[in-house]
Amino acid sequence: MPRKILGVIPARFGSTRFPGKVLALLSSKTVLQHVYERACQSRYLSDIIIATDDKRVYEAARSFGARVRMTRADHLSGTDRVAEVASAEEAAVVVNIQGDEPLIDPAAIDAAILPLFHDSEVVMATLKKKIEDPREIDDPNVVKVVANHAGDAIYFSRCAIPYTREQDGAWFKHIGLYVYRRDFLLGYSRLPVGPLERAERLEQLRALENGYPIRVIETDYESLGVDTPEDLERVSRLFEASMMPGVN
């Protein structure tokens, strides 16, 4: 079992569609605080750090008692920001937790971590969920994934994969939570970007194109990220419904 598992929540203030979304209020707390508090319920995380390049996010995180680290402002991705934090920590395993998913399920975090407990060959793991809404199958904003019998990803795509001639096929969407062995994460940004990553604009394809398998674990967790003000309203309605008496 890894001796220390670090959760890192990359949290930028800048966002093209919804600037400052991580500090938007959901009930009486910010989106970021909800993410942090849910991550704290994970059974396996030893520590959690919020990583940001913005003083407003830094101060907000400090206000609710989180560990927070200021990082460089020139990172091209959240993965790079997570790697900067991990480089200064001794954790054996690092979990990249999206900062805009206030309803993140702690059990989903734990499910993604488990493969690295049981198989020393696994250097990276993530999640998938069976698609229930047929509209998501052909939606390029919903990333699909197919895996082999061992549970390792064969491919991620914005297209509907697999193609099936039948109407009762099963499709799985990718849930963007990542678990890495620290040494692999620190070298990830130096891996060459291949044509598949460029075509799909999916960073996880870099691992596959360079010969590193990604273990994919099925979950029931429905990812609900806050990318727009409309998303915040939708998540707010779900949050309020879950707080009603008699609702689990």
Structure token digits, residue 60: 């907000």
Which pLDDT tens digit goes with each residue over 156-166?
999 999 998 77
User: Which of 230, 241, 247, 225 is CA-nearest to residue 31?
Assistant: 225
Q: Can you give the pLDDT at residue 16? A: 75
pTM: 0.92
Domain residue ranges in the chain: 5-242
User: Do 214 and 225 meet the contact criterion of CB atoms below 8 Å apart?
Assistant: no
User: Which of 56, 69, 62, 70 is CA-nearest to residue 22?
Assistant: 56
Domain 5-242 has CATH 3.90.550.10: yes
β-pair partners for 182: none
Give the C-alpha separation, 138 to 172, whole Å.
12
- pLDDT tens string for the chain (248 positions)? 557 999 999 998 987 788 899 999 998 899 999 999 999 999 999 999 999 999 999 999 999 999 999 998 888 888 999 999 999 999 999 999 999 999 999 999 999 999 999 999 999 999 999 999 999 999 999 999 999 999 999 999 999 999 987 767 899 999 999 999 999 999 998 999 999 999 999 999 999 999 999 999 999 999 888 889 999 999 998 888 776 454 44
